[in-house]
Structure 1
């Protein structure tokens, strides 16, 4: 593999780590890529974004400068430089960086928005230091508007966000810790916008207007190559609110105002999107992708166009392309402060695409990331179903009949040497390797019976019978447990089932078992004869089934009828369930037979 190929591989892995929010890992991978190819400006830009995600703005600035040194005619490098300077408090330098980028790419919406944010910060700060400026921005009189603003008022009622705001008000320099929180970004936008609007209004006698601030200093990487997927039909977003490009947040111009070039571009992009959606509904995916691509090329800051194109790729089965678009959508969304629901949608679709490719662990990671952005019930259900699928796959992948047989033989040897605990371990391993083998459950049931773990023995015996209803030993294991519990009536029922099996030894085994039960009943009866009523009652109350029988009003009525009416007694004994319960009471000594 060439150095360039290695660099591309590290870059792709770095993009995935960045998309997942693992910035430290992203820095490590981008650094490895740079070690292989130190002339690639995109790598320095990506690492700058990752450093910014870690709040290490000095290193973010260093990488932005290196990016520009390698390719001074690339506008994105100046966006990186501007963002780093902004968060370091160097507003003049940030302004210069954004202006330099706009000279290269005048229509770049991200650079324009960054410049507007800087202007608003400078306007609110005046000549004071940045720390003092933010103290003024977070002054009590300014915070009042957050309580009534339609975007922020709900956040101001959330206890955890109230703690964040209290920390920032007390120490404005701590705001860097919360910039990845979309709620705080929204608050900062409202405060900066209102501050800039107030300054402009004062200067222009009430004729100014504030910018929306929907795009600014978020962090992203370039050339992302993420992975992701989603279940069910993937639909392009068609809502009016979702389809607004992040860069076109300014109010619609009045009739007397000229339409700007940017607004013309946005309108053209929306037309392309509408054409794409119409083609998608007709399942003309090639045409739909063409129009969504045109829309994205016109306004590359709008996550919706990428989300819609990803939906097209998903429906057409082009899962690799879907994953690439989802990764890019997350990048664009974070950089331009898109609605977290749109980012969540991209991550969810990535999860579904990865699941279609059989990358289940990767898909689960995408679903978890999506839910961290927005708690969507449908995505949560997909995640839960996927977790079950992963667990089932693990069990299925572990199946190996040959290794199961080896574990069974080890278990048999341990059983013969009376090492029942370790025999259980080997039989359990054998069951994991071949869970459909009924005999393994029978063997483990025998071990559990030896160490008096009767509930576990009964469970294994039942599973053995379920897997192979013709296997006599399964019934024998069950009857042995029932006798050990002194549930002789149930044991006799089990032996009766054995007698109906087609195995030539079934009848003999059933007869011997029945005889064993009758002898046990007689021994128990004789023991009860010598026991006091109090002792019998205590033993009965220790048995949950006996307590239930005695508490049953129907059984109480039947017992009263049987006491004085032999004909009624004979009629009731024809009912198998009643007969079983009567036998249980007799075995326990509660009913005495003379």
Structure 2
């Protein structure tokens, strides 16, 4: 059974982490092939693998496709920068890294490291020529390299051959490639007749591979790439005492053992003992993961202030130690959690946003959105004040009486904020909105008023009035039927005359002829444009009743005893399909 794109991607990430870049390329290619839609992350991951395998043109092609699919994703421009850097196009690489920083608000470490490498490459002294440049102008150069047993295998790579030929036009590009391609050193040695021991690779790691950020969505691949960057940017290693190395290794081992013990104690709810173990781990090895774990124990104890202090220390130390941005993001997120527990929603939101700036995850984004909703609800609840709501209502009434509709809307909006459960605020604002001809908004307000108070007859009447104004006659008649029912049960029909007047208005305007001189055929054709009329006329039961009425008009009166049939007949009478002679 074939794998899914995500499964191929996971395998590709594993191969990348193991530095089996050709295998990673193969797996990412399969992921791209089976992906139901173009996926920018897959092209990005394959571009990183191509860059690490020094196949820079292929890396550039994939990076270009990645940016084409998602032009707002900063890491796509990281890929472009790394590929262009590998090809020796420093200006293009610089432009793309700067675009990545712009999209990431200058928080893109990989892009910044790439720019640093470009700066170093630009400022690097030119290579001593010693007549080497002239060697590349030899017309028989390729044939000589094919004949040399130490370089003949290199000539099977068309990309490398193209690079050699490129030095004939741009000899200065050798400076960059000497740092990134160990084969070039062998070629130079062969051309100079020097017998280098090429069995041991003494050249620095590939700068271009270091510049390429790892697959964006996988921690393991990201870690592998970070290690490559550190190798390239770090100074040349010095000789160290082996015992000192062992001592450092043992400290790390002891620290991890203390962390494991702390985790066991944490799960057993022995938080004080767990904190002791995390402190021991931190003292042995400066890894801010231990501080993050300690803060979790402090959080569970309910000591939120201490947890926040620990996490702030983790962030500060993490910056100094150049810790993985994902771990720093976790520190910020936990500060947000602590402030949320303390009820300080604004600070909680602030730190969730800081976490997302470091590393965007769905979990923290959800927490941020929920916290924002919670804060909005909290602020709305704190704003409720019945006395101030009444003041706003009276102010709105005064503006309404004066005909100052905009200020009436403003005052009634304030009333709604101060008393969101009072249906009168919505109904009154609907009346003012109707005066401003904002009928759809008025209908929404009436719906809110009815939701707050289903027996608020005035809200039904105002809704129907607005519906008539925008020619929603059928809906208006339905609303008026509800108003009539509520008015009868709640107000003893106090509003019946007004409701009846609106029903007549809606019916008349619904089927009003454009001219007074209309033939029965024209009336029928116009009436059938109304969806409800058309549905009634297509109803087999109604067709039977109408046929019967043609020969026996008195039968129509009998059928009208059925409320449903009566309603349909009244609609047809209003539409002019049934003439008054049948009534």
What TM-score, normalized by structure 2, do the two folds share?
Answer: 0.57
Q: Which residue of 2 aligns with 1:66?
A: none
Q: Which residue of 1 aligns with 2:173?
A: none
Q: Which residue of 2 aligns with 1:148?
A: 53
1:478–1:175 distance in 2 versus 1, CA, 3 Å: closer
Matches of 1:520 and 1:188, distance apart in 2: 71
Alpha-carbon contact 1:272-1:292 (below 8 Å) kept = yes
Is 1:273 matched with 2:259? yes
Shift of 1:494: 2.7
Matches of 1:592 and 1:492, distance apart in 2: 25
Matches of 1:211 and 1:520, distance apart in 2: 82
Q: Which has the higher contact order (CA 8 A, sep 6+)?
A: 1
Matches of 2:107 and 2:467, distance apart in 1: 62
In structure 2, the residue corresponding to 1:260 is in which secondary structure?
A: helix
Is 1:310 matched with 2:237? no
Alpha-carbon contact 1:326-1:350 (below 8 Å) kept = yes
Matches of 1:209 and 1:313, distance apart in 2: 48
What TM-score, normalized by structure 1, do the two folds share?
Answer: 0.56
1:313-392, aligned counterparts within 5 Å? 313-392=298-377
Q: Which runs of 5+ in 1 are unaligned?
A: 1-142, 214-238, 251-256
Shift of 1:585: 5.9
In structure 1, the residue corresponding to 2:495 is in which secondary structure?
A: helix
Shift of 1:187: 6.4
Shift of 1:557: 5.0
Matches of 1:180 and 1:455, distance apart in 2: 45
Shift of 1:499: 3.6
Shift of 1:270: 0.6
Shift of 1:332: 2.6
Q: Which residue of 2 aligns with 1:218?
A: none
Is 1:494 matched with 2:482? yes
Q: What do residues 219-253 of structure 1 show as CA deviations (whole Å, max 9, x unaligned)?
A: xxxxxxxxxxxxxxxxxxxx9x99xxx9xx99xxx
Is 1:406 matched with 2:323? no
Matches of 1:369 and 1:380, distance apart in 2: 11
Is 1:160 matched with 2:77? yes
Matches of 1:347 and 1:324, distance apart in 2: 11
Shift of 1:327: 2.0
Matches of 2:347 and 2:365, distance apart in 1: 16
Matches of 1:144 and 1:525, distance apart in 2: 71
Q: Which runs of 5+ in 2 are unaligned?
A: 1-47, 64-74, 121-177, 186-195, 208-219, 232-241, 550-554
Q: Which residue of 2 aligns with 1:262?
A: 248
Q: Which residue of 2 aligns with 1:291?
A: 277
Matches of 1:400 and 1:182, distance apart in 2: 50
Q: Which residue of 1 aligns with 2:432?
A: 447
1:373–1:510 distance in 2 versus 1, CA, 3 Å: same
Matches of 2:511 and 2:107, distance apart in 1: 76
Matches of 1:274 and 1:154, distance apart in 2: 41
Alpha-carbon contact 1:280-1:312 (below 8 Å) kept = yes
Q: What do residues 179-209 of structure 1 show as CA deviations (whole Å, max 9, x unaligned)?
A: 95332477699999x979999xx99994989
Matches of 2:561 and 2:311, distance apart in 1: 70
Alpha-carbon contact 2:292-2:314 (below 8 Å) kept = yes
Alpha-carbon contact 2:94-2:115 (below 8 Å) kept = no
Alpha-carbon contact 2:97-2:115 (below 8 Å) kept = no
Shift of 1:526: 7.5
Shift of 1:396: 2.3
Match of 1:476 among 461, 468, 475: 461
1:527–1:207 distance in 2 versus 1, CA, 3 Å: closer
Q: Which residue of 1 aligns with 2:36?
A: none
1:148–1:591 distance in 2 versus 1, CA, 3 Å: farther
Alpha-carbon contact 1:348-1:366 (below 8 Å) kept = yes
Matches of 2:308 and 2:336, distance apart in 1: 9
In structure 2, the residue corresponding to 1:262 is in which secondary structure?
A: helix
Q: Which residue of 2 aligns with 1:181?
A: 108
In structure 1, the residue corresponding to 2:465 is in which secondary structure?
A: helix
Shift of 1:292: 0.8
Shift of 1:521: 4.0
Match of 1:417 among 376, 394, 402: 402
1:575–1:517 distance in 2 versus 1, CA, 3 Å: closer
Shift of 1:495: 3.5
